[in-house]
Structure 1
Amino acid sequence: MVDKSEKFRWLVRLGFAARGVVYALIGYLALSSKGHSDGPSGSFSYLQKVPGGTVLLYAAALGLLGYGLYRLCSPLFDIENYGSDKTGIAHRAGHAGSAFAHFVLAYTAFQFASGSGSSGGSDTAEQAAGTVLSVSFGGFLVGLLGIAFFLAGLAQAKKGITASFMQRISNRAPDFVEWLGRAGFLARAVVFVIIGWSLVQSAWASSSAQVKTLGEAISSLADNGSLYTLVAVGFLLFGIFSMFMARYRIIPDLGSQGLKPSFRN
């Protein structure tokens, strides 16, 4: 009989696989379009058109939901023992943001699976930012979010440079997984900084028009052909990396003594 810990691990692994599919398609479609990216919505739209796409989208929605719940366990229960010092709190806060982002992705995948999805990510992002900017201290909040993206970008770059992510991957993983991760995290760093800058600009100008989605952030690099290609390739490689993570990521146990990791290979 499969216990709760085993079910938890399988759900998280499905989440890593779903994330891998989304990122790989983002990178592939960005390379195919040569200067334009629709981001996650483009990936879901692509899946919608392939044979068995509806089943894949429902599986992606479930996986992304599972990944979001996994990330939410970090700020709530410190599932991976980051601690409560400044660095630990920063990691856990970042995971809270990741949880929210993946809940949104899960909902979007579900919409496409049920036939009600659309590729209007840009309008949605602008509307959300416009709503925040319209309230008291809204510009301050959007500015803080922009700074958070800057810091997240720096964290992604640090992971890409130091390969610290390998500490939580089984030593049975192939050696090339490290280089897939390095390329992917560096590509994400570039995009996060672009999104952060767009949010800071929006806060400064009190206008939501500058807000960039993930797809728009990649597309904004189109005039710099080499960087655009490198980022697109990086996203594709990060997707492949995430698929290997689905197999080799060390997942904490969901035990009777609380949500705590058992880092074993």
Structure 2
Amino acid sequence: MVDKSEKFSWLVRVGFAARGLTYILLGYIALGTRGDAKGGGSAVYDYIQDVPFGTPILWAMTFGLLAYVAFRLMCAISDLQHRGSDTSGVLKRVGDAASAVAHLFLAYACYQFATGEKQSSAGDGGGEEMAGSILQMELGWIVIAAVGLGFLVGAFMQAKTAWSAHFMHRISARAPQVTKAIGRAGHAARAVVFLLIGWSMLDGAWAERGDRIQGLGEAILSLRDMGTIYTLVAIGLIMFGIFSLFTAKYRIIPDFGPEGLKPHFRS
């Protein structure tokens, strides 16, 4: 019988795998047909919908992304990974929360395609719709502004991680040597995207206009006139996707017990 720790470990690995596939296809679409990348996650799931067994794959990815969202929320709320209560630890947990929100948007878009509610990648998918709905609520702009600040903090933490490669502390020594370089490139690209999303959310909250808020795809496309930078970010997202697949297999996930996930660092 599979115990609680094994189930938790399996869910986390499925979540990283779903994240990886999403980013690989997003970067691929952005490189191949720049206009279609506007759909962000929706463009990815629209693409998957047309492949053999597309609907079962979409359901599996929805489940995986929700598992990843749950993992990040647990890290942010209960400090599951023992980030600590100092400034660095708090910032990391805020980044965890921003990551949870970003992937919740992706999970919602994936769910729409899995159920047939959405048939094309027009627009930027569930994220923009959800943000627009929140803005219609009383004081909704405060919620959007808070999430935007979370993305800016997340961007800072992604950039810091790209520089320090701290992520390797939780990767098994059995992982390919290229994991570190790929991870650095991927986190750097993700920092750029999080920065653009966060800034757009603050702008949208200030003006109380949902059309100013950028989702994942629109954030990428906002760089399309910058030539080399756009290409590097798109390639970086593919690298982040590959890194996520490596993480799904090689991440060290300690037993899940009353004290949460005890830190485990490579020697």
User: Partner of 1:84 in structure 2?
Assistant: 85
User: Partner of 1:180 in structure 2?
Assistant: 182
User: Partner of 1:15 in structure 2?
Assistant: 15
Query: In the aligned structure 1, how far is the partner of 2:52 from the partner of 2:94?
Result: 39
Equivalent residue letter for 2:207 = A
Query: In the aligned structure 1, how far is the partner of 2:3 from the partner of 2:125?
Result: 43
Equivalent residue letter for 2:254 = P
User: Partner of 2:28 in structure 1?
Assistant: 28
After alignment, is 144-153 or 13-22 more displaced? 144-153
The answer on 1:147 being equivalent to 2:149 is: yes
User: Partner of 1:244 in structure 2?
Assistant: 246
User: Partner of 2:224 in structure 1?
Assistant: 222
Give the % identical residues. 48
Equivalent residue letter for 2:21 = V
User: Partner of 2:105 in structure 1?
Assistant: 104
TM-aligned CA deviation for residue 17 of structure 1: 0.7
Query: In the aligned structure 2, how far is the partner of 1:8 from the partner of 1:124?
Result: 27
Query: In the aligned structure 2, how far is the partner of 1:167 from the partner of 1:111?
Result: 36
User: Partner of 1:43 in structure 2?
Assistant: 44
Query: In the aligned structure 2, how far is the partner of 1:126 from the partner of 1:260?
Result: 34
Query: In the aligned structure 2, how far is the partner of 1:27 from the partner of 1:74?
Result: 27
Alignment length, in residue pairs? 264
SS of the residue corresponding to residue 260 of structure 2 reads strand
TM-aligned CA deviation for residue 11 of structure 1: 1.4
Query: In the aligned structure 1, how far is the partner of 2:221 from the partner of 2:71?
Result: 30
Equivalent residue letter for 2:65 = L
Aligned 8 A contact 1:35 1:222 in 2: no
Aligned 8 A contact 2:94 2:154 in 1: no
SS of the residue corresponding to residue 84 of structure 1 reads coil
User: Partner of 1:74 in structure 2?
Assistant: 75
Equivalent residue letter for 1:30 = A
| 146 and 177 in structure 1: CA distance in 2 versus 1, 3 angstrom threshold | same
TM-aligned CA deviation for residue 24 of structure 1: 0.1
| 3 and 138 in structure 1: CA distance in 2 versus 1, 3 angstrom threshold | closer
| 244 and 151 in structure 1: CA distance in 2 versus 1, 3 angstrom threshold | same
User: Partner of 1:6 in structure 2?
Assistant: 6
TM-score normalised by the chain length of structure 1: 0.90
Deviations 1:91-139 (A, max 9, x none): 2232233233333323332321222234355375555444444455444
SS of the residue corresponding to residue 224 of structure 2 reads coil
TM-score normalised by the chain length of structure 2: 0.89
Unmatched 5+ stretches in structure 1: none
| 201 and 78 in structure 1: CA distance in 2 versus 1, 3 angstrom threshold | closer
Equivalent residue letter for 2:252 = I
Equivalent residue letter for 1:80 = Q
User: Partner of 1:189 in structure 2?
Assistant: 191
| 204 and 100 in structure 1: CA distance in 2 versus 1, 3 angstrom threshold | closer
Query: In the aligned structure 1, how far is the partner of 2:73 from the partner of 2:134?
Result: 23
Unmatched 5+ stretches in structure 2: none
| 36 and 170 in structure 1: CA distance in 2 versus 1, 3 angstrom threshold | same
Aligned 8 A contact 2:106 2:127 in 1: no
| 224 and 261 in structure 1: CA distance in 2 versus 1, 3 angstrom threshold | same
SS of the residue corresponding to residue 83 of structure 1 reads coil
Equivalent residue letter for 1:93 = V
TM-aligned CA deviation for residue 233 of structure 1: 0.4
Equivalent residue letter for 2:223 = L
